[in-house]
Amino acid sequence: MKITNETEYEKASERADEIFDAKKGTPEEKELQELLKAIKEYEDDFVRMLRENN
């Protein structure tokens, strides 16, 4: 999963909030892990871009 814009980021964040308490071993827990990874990558890319432009 790759987040490429602010709209996708917001949707991913909302979904992560919805399933944050997912039980281990469930499809929701796997989805949550993928969402959190994609969110972190998007945020890291955003911070990197800000630093490069300053």
Q: What is the reported pTM?
A: 0.89
- Position 54 scores a pLDDT of 75
Which region holds residue 36: left if phi is over 0, alpha if psi is between -120 and 50, else beta?
A: alpha
d(CA 37, CA 54): 26
d(CA 42, CA 47): 9
pLDDT one-digit tens code per residue, 3-53: 999 999 999 999 999 999 999 999 999 999 999 999 999 999 999 999 998
Q: For the chain, what is the radius of gyration of the CA atoms?
A: 13
- Position 11 scores a pLDDT of 98
- Position 6 scores a pLDDT of 95
